[in-house]
A and B are shown apart, each in its own frame.
Chain A
Amino acid sequence: MDYRNHQPETGCADNMGVLPCCAPLANPYVPFQQENAATYQAPMGLVRGTLYPGLDLPFMGMVNQNEQSHTPMHQLQALNFAISELGLYLDTHPTDQEAIDLFNQYVEQYSHAMQQYEQNYGPLNQMSSALSGTYEWTKGPWPWDYDANKEG
């Protein structure tokens, strides 16, 4: 367990992880991502498909360059993405305080953005349809429709 908390003296680059120096034979190893890894901001993380530049490994140089436009839905999607990405990281790095703080920050921003969104555009889940006094849950477009995703 210890080796994961001890960075090598020279330090590893952000796209490198740590391995035990002696390891049992006949076992597969994936390097453990180091704590305090660099992160993209949420909107960039969403278009790249990861919050971590060190894990950003595109095929044939094909990368999404442009952030999504700043619609309220895209803002929610970016914040939600940052939360799930940090959540997966914390599942295997539950004591990384910096990541916990960032996770908490994004959750706070998300709850705020979600409240704003629901006030203006309707419920995001069935329970919050109770907020408006009328039942607007089944009002379209649903998320898989083109009209729910086009801008403006």
Chain B
Amino acid sequence: MFVYNKKLQFPVKITHTDPRLASIIISQYGGPDGELGASLRYLSQRYSMPYPDLQGLLTDIGTEELGHLEMVGAIVHQLTRKLTDSQIENSNFAPYFVDHSASVYPTAASGFPWSAASMAVKGDPITDLTEDLAAEQKARTTYDNILRLSDDPDVNEVIKFLRQREVVHFQRFGEALQLLRERLNEKNVYAMNPALDM
């Protein structure tokens, strides 16, 4: 089970209201490579992972992603603090605002609401870990892109942290793939699906 800890993984203290930036950063809440998809991907892949140590890694990274989801939510929440009508009118935040006011809703920056179609749980450990490697790179690129678009130091401090976590997770998933491979037939790791055939 999960127990809530009353603290963020990394402090989020955004001084300046900036609805334009909020409308971009919301993508890491509910966009195709965001933290909601990340946590659900790993926490869902655990069930068909046949090895306890790799179930553990998926659990730990999936749990950390839930913490990242909370941090991205906190960024959006604080960027839309004390919004004035003119700030809304003069930014591209208006289309989001009309549906969600100043709340936090899982959607892509492009307006598409969060979709489970943006993640995969294939039920084959090699396939799932390879998906996870790609997912971490896609999230990293999204954070790179946010850094290109934002010059708010309070926001960027948090984004740099989150981006670096993607690099570390990529490393661990790569190691997990090797630990998995060592348990399979070394002449042909694709000889069967260890989630079904062992």
A binds B: yes
Q: For A81, list chain B residues within 8 Å (CB).
A: 9-10
Q: Are B7 and A73 in contact (CB-based, < 8 A)?
A: yes
**Per a CB cutoff under 8 Å, which of B7, B162, B190 touches A124?**
B7
**Per a CB cutoff under 8 Å, which of A31, A50, A149 touches B164?**
A50
User: Smallest distance from the beta carbon of A75 to chain B beta carbons, Å?
Assistant: 11
Q: For A135, list chain B residues within 8 Å (CB).
A: none
Q: For A126, list chain B residues within 8 Å (CB).
A: 3-4
Given contacts A62-B156, A144-B77, contact A30 B6 (CB under 8 A): no
Residues of B41-80 whose CB lies within 8 A of A = 53, 56-57, 60-61, 64, 70, 73-74, 77-78
A-binding segment of B95-103, B106-114, B117-125, B165-173: B165-173
- Separation of A56 and B171 alpha carbons in the complex (Å): 11
Q: Are A144 and B73 in contact (CB-based, < 8 A)?
A: yes
**Per a CB cutoff under 8 Å, which of B14, B163, B165, B187 touches A146?**
B14
Q: Are B6 and A85 in contact (CB-based, < 8 A)?
A: no
| Number of A residues, CB within 8 Å of B | 54
Residues of A116-149 whose CB lies within 8 A of B = 123-127, 142-146, 149
Q: A29-B178, A49-B10, A145-B77 are in contact. List 20 more A-B contacts (CB 8 A).
A: A24-B188, A30-B170, A30-B177, A46-B10, A47-B161, A48-B164, A49-B160, A49-B162, A59-B160, A64-B160, A77-B7, A84-B9, A88-B61, A88-B168, A88-B169, A91-B176, A92-B57, A124-B7, A144-B12, A146-B81
Q: Are A28 and B81 in contact (CB-based, < 8 A)?
A: no
Q: Are A125 and B167 in contact (CB-based, < 8 A)?
A: no
Q: For B130, list chain A residues within 8 Å (CB).
A: 28
Q: Are B133 and A28 in contact (CB-based, < 8 A)?
A: yes
Residues of B156-198 whose CB lies within 8 A of A = 156-157, 160-165, 167-179, 181-182, 186-190
Q: Is the contact region of chain B dominated by helix, strand, or loop, or is it mixed?
A: helix
Q: Are A30 and B60 in contact (CB-based, < 8 A)?
A: no
**Per a CB cutoff under 8 Å, which of A76, A91, A142, A145 touches B60?**
A91
- Separation of A116 and B169 alpha carbons in the complex (Å): 32
Q: Are B11 and A74 in contact (CB-based, < 8 A)?
A: yes
**Chain A interface residues toward B at CB < 8 A:** 1, 24, 26-33, 46-50, 52, 55-60, 62-64, 68, 73-74, 76-77, 80-81, 84-85, 87-89, 91-94, 123-127, 142-146, 149-151
Q: For A145, list chain B residues within 8 Å (CB).
A: 74, 77-78
Residues of B2-37 whose CB lies within 8 A of A = 3-14
Of all chain B residues, the one with the shortest Cβ separation from A127 is: B3
Given contacts A56-B164, A62-B147, contact A125 B171 (CB under 8 A): no
User: Smallest distance from the beta carbon of B149 to chain A beta carbons, Å?
Assistant: 13
- Separation of A80 and B10 alpha carbons in the complex (Å): 10
Q: For B11, list chain A residues within 8 Å (CB).
A: 68, 73-74, 77, 149
Q: Are B57 and A91 in contact (CB-based, < 8 A)?
A: yes
- Separation of A50 and B170 alpha carbons in the complex (Å): 13
**Per a CB cutoff under 8 Å, which of A28, A32, A125 touches B5?**
A125
Q: Are B160 and A50 in contact (CB-based, < 8 A)?
A: no
Q: Are A94 and B53 in contact (CB-based, < 8 A)?
A: yes
